[in-house]
Amino acid sequence: MSVEKPMRENEYSEIAETEAFRELMRRKRAFLVPTVVFVLLFFIMLPILSIFTDVLDGKVVGAISWAYLYAFAQFFLAWVVTFLYWRKANRWDELAGEAREEVSEGEENSA
């Protein structure tokens, strides 16, 4: 585990101009935007389907209806999204480190 030095005031703007940082932001957006949209729609659809339709009224097994199954699927979805984010964040950390290295190498070469 390495300890990173504190960031200088103008270092963020230097990092933001690196190719690794642009790749980091592209990958984060590519994962986060569709994931957030899907999760919000998935969570919002339970009350909408329950209140305005009869779609979730049918029984799956015994007294368990589709509404209960849908509600429990939301817990499962939260765990899956958390796991996927954790896996992706490890790669994003590597790209952030690469961006900082690009800035430090640029400083060494210009000095």
Residue 54 resides in a domain: yes
Tokens of 82: 């958390």
Q: What would you measure as the largest C-alpha separation in the chain, in angstroms?
A: 74
Q: How many residues does the structure list for the chain?
A: 111
Domain that holds residue 81: 18-104
Beta-carbon count within 10 A of 95 CB: 19
Q: Residue 64 has what pLDDT? A: 92
Residue 6 resides in a domain: no
Residue 9 resides in a domain: no
Alpha carbons 74 and 52: distance in angstroms, whole number: 19
Residue 92 resides in a domain: yes
Q: Residue 102 has what pLDDT? A: 83
Q: Residue 87 has what pLDDT? A: 93
The predicted model scores a pTM of 0.74
Residue 12 resides in a domain: no
Q: List, for the chain, all residue ranges whose pLDDT scores fall below the cut of 70.
A: 1-9, 107-111
Number of domains comprising the chain: 1
Q: Residue 30 has what pLDDT? A: 96
